[in-house]
Amino acid sequence: TTEPLLILTVLSASSPVDLFVLPGQAFDRTGRRLGRGGGYYDTFLMRYQELAKEKGWSQPLLVALSYSVQILEEGIIPVNSTDVPIDALVTSSGIIPISPAASERV
């Protein structure tokens, strides 16, 4: 198979993953993430979220590390139906919870 070993390992896990730290070039405070345009992380995240749902696991918290200059105003980052939003941003100023899950768990 052409999938990286880490993806195969995570997707065949026997216990849940609690947290994914995601890369990005830019973010906003509604959970939008601008990657490199390949959709690889979004595809992986959708597959893992489906797996977690099938197994009755809690969904992982999706967090991105960001410099303040990477946080843009709402509406600037383009999104489509396959984009998976992040739950929280971690900056040098602190944690910015975005989703209700992040507000409960952070």
Strand 61-65 relative to strand 88-91, pairing: parallel
pTM of the model as a whole: 0.88
Question: Which whole-number Å values give the CA distances from 67 to 24, 34, 36, 55, 71, in the listed order?
Answer: 11, 14, 17, 35, 7
* pLDDT higher than threshold 70 for residue 1: no
Token digits of residue 65: 């590390």
Mean pLDDT of 31-36: 93
Sequence ranges of the domains in the chain: 4-10+17-104
What percent of the chain is modeled with pLDDT above 70? Answer: 94
**CATH of 4-10+17-104 among 3.40.350.10, 3.40.50.10420, 3.40.190.10, 3.20.20.70:** 3.40.50.10420
